[in-house]
Each structure stands twice: as structure tokens, then as C-alpha cells.
């Protein structure tokens, strides 16, 4: 009989220990999630700033340096996140920025219907990159002028002008804009429409007629042909 109280006490200690470690684990998980949510919010704000820096299609060397550094630092945050749904939210923020940068760092064309890449003249940092046809001339215009100045206490020496964009900033931005090799594309999982367009109503009518027509026809050099 004397062993019963000892067993009861041991059981109580065990239950208390299990409860303690369970609470500690729960607190650690809660703390980790709050930290990761903070990282996500910081990343979203930083992505917004990167877009803001480049959204006006400027070719300012200093701005591109700031944008690329901020982008690379923000991407490093991803390694600190382990929770699946927060990683997915981070990836969605990345996709949003890729889309925004694609619109900002491409041009509308009077000749082609699709958006076109920025001309190489843009990256030399010249103001007339849209009209300058020669890349050699763009390079010449971007070169720093050699000037002589008196060194006096009354005024500062002007900072040297460096117009061409830093190669690494350009690479950093455009490498990010490409979809990663391990990108999990959801589009292949979309089920195709197999019902007839004749039975379509509402908002999808035009889309279904387009899909049906595209399935049955193809165009070569401006001439349309029936498949099969």
C-alpha cells in the first residue's frame, strides 16, 4: 500500500512534464509563425519598393543599384521561412513583382501587338534611348566628360557622372524576372473545355467561341486553314 502514493506522485509529475513541454512547443511554434509572418510583411513592402523604384521605366544607375540590392536582400529572407503556407504567400508576392516588372521593363510597339523588350540603348543610361538608333552612339553619349575644376573651399567638386547601368544590377533584375527552373506551373492541370460552344451563356460565351475556333483552325502567314 505504501507504494501507491509514490506511483500517484510519479504519474502527476509525468503529466505535468508532458503538459509543460507541450505548452513550450506550442509557444515556440506560435513565436516562429509570428516571426515568419513578420518576414513576409517585410518582403511584401520591399517588393513594393523595388517596383516603385523601377515602375517609371527610368534608367538611372543609382536607382537600379538600390533596386537590385533591395531585391537580392529581400530574396534572402525566403530561407528564414519554413511554414508551408507562408512560403506559398512569399512565392505569390514574387510572382506579383515579376508581372509588374515585366510591364515596367518592356515597351509597347507600333509594329507588334505584343510587348517588346527594352532596346539595348536603354541600359546605357541615356535620355534619348527611345530614339537613338545606334548602340555605338548610345555608348558615346553615356561616357563621362573630362572636366578640370579648381579645388576651393567655397564649393564642392561635382560628382562624376556614370550613366551606363551596372551590369550586375541588370542581371539581378532580369534573372529574377525569369520563372525559376523548379517553378510549379498550375496551368497544365487546367481541364480543357470539351462541351460545345453552342450551349455557352453568360460571361464565357466569347471565350468558348474563341477556344472552339482555335481548336479547329490554324493560321500560317496570314492565311487561315481548317485543321484535319
Instruction: Tell me if 2 is assigned to some domain.
Output: no
Residues 159 and 197 in one domain: no
Residues 87 and 112 in one domain: yes
The total number of structural domains in the chain stands at 2
Give the model confidence (pLDDT) of 152-194 as tens digits.
887 876 776 778 999 999 999 999 999 888 888 888 999 988 8
Give the model confidence (pLDDT) of 65-100 as tens digits.
999 999 999 999 999 999 999 999 999 999 999 999
CB distance 77 to 35 below 8 Å: no
- Please give the model's pTM, rounded to 2 decimal places: 0.78
CB distance 35 to 43 below 8 Å: no
What span, in angstroms and rounded, lies between the C-alpha atoms of 99 and 47?
12
Residues 163 and 108 in one domain: yes
- Output the average pLDDT for the chain: 87
Residue 205 vs residue 195, higher pLDDT: 205
Give the model confidence (pLDDT) of 1-57 as tens digits.
555 566 656 666 667 666 656 666 667 667 888 999 999 999 999 999 999 999 999
53 CB-side CA count, 13 A: 21
136 has pLDDT over 80? yes
Instruction: Tell me if 103 is assigned to some domain.
Output: yes
Cα–Cα nearest to 122, from 51, 53, 58, 55: 58
Residues 80 and 168 in one domain: yes
What span, in angstroms and rounded, lies between the C-alpha atoms of 160 and 86?
44
What span, in angstroms and rounded, lies between the C-alpha atoms of 60 and 58?
6
Residues 110 and 170 in one domain: yes
Residues 125 and 32 in one domain: yes
- Domain of 169 in residue numbering reads as 10-190
Residues 49 and 96 in one domain: yes
Cα–Cα nearest to 46, from 70, 62, 22, 13: 70
> Taking the CB of residue 60, how many other CB atoms lie within 10 A of it?
15
Q: How far is CA 81 from CA 36, 75, 87, 169, in A?
A: 6, 11, 6, 26
Instruction: Tell me if 4 is assigned to some domain.
Output: no
Residues 164 and 180 in one domain: yes
Residues 134 and 223 in one domain: no
Instruction: Tell me if 5 is assigned to some domain.
Output: no
What span, in angstroms and rounded, lies between the C-alpha atoms of 74 and 40?
10
Residues 225 and 149 in one domain: no
Grid-cell match 530614339, residue found = 131
147 has pLDDT over 90? no
Cα–Cα nearest to 75, from 53, 97, 57: 97
Q: What angle do CA 37, 42, 43 make, to 5 degrees?
A: 95
Residues 139 and 203 in one domain: no
Amino acid at each position: 500500500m505504501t507504494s501507491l502514493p509514490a506511483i500517484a506522485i510519479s504519474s502527476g509529475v509525468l503529466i505535468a512534464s508532458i503538459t509543460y513541454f507541450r505548452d513550450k512547443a506550442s509557444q515556440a511554434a506560435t513565436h516562429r509563425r509570428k516571426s515568419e509572418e513578420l518576414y513576409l510583411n517585410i518582403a511584401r513592402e520591399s517588393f513594393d519598393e523595388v517596383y516603385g523604384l523601377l515602375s517609371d521605366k527610368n534608367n538611372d544607375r543609382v536607382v537600379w543599384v538600390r533596386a537590385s540590392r533591395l531585391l537580392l536582400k529581400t530574396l534572402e529572407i525566403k530561407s528564414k521561412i519554413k511554414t508551408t503556407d507562408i512560403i506559398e504567400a512569399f512565392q505569390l508576392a514574387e510572382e506579383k513583382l515579376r508581372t509588374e516588372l515585366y510591364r515596367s521593363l518592356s515597351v509597347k510597339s507600333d509594329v507588334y501587338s505584343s510587348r517588346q523588350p527594352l532596346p539595348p540603348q536603354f541600359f546605357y543610361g541615356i535620355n534619348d534611348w527611345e530614339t537613338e538608333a545606334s548602340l555605338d552612339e548610345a555608348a558615346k553619349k553615356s561616357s563621362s566628360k573630362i572636366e578640370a575644376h579648381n579645388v576651393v573651399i567655397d564649393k564642392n567638386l561635382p560628382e562624376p557622372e556614370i550613366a551606363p547601368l551596372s551590369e550586375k544590377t541588370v542581371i539581378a533584375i532580369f534573372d529574377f524576372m525569369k520563372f525559376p527552373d523548379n517553378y510549379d506551373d498550375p496551368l497544365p492541370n487546367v481541364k480543357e473545355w470539351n462541351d460545345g460552344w453552342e450551349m455557352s451563356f453568360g460571361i464565357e460565351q466569347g471565350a468558348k467561341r474563341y477556344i472552339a475556333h482555335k481548336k479547329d483552325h490554324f493560321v500560317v502567314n496570314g492565311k487561315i486553314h481548317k485543321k484535319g
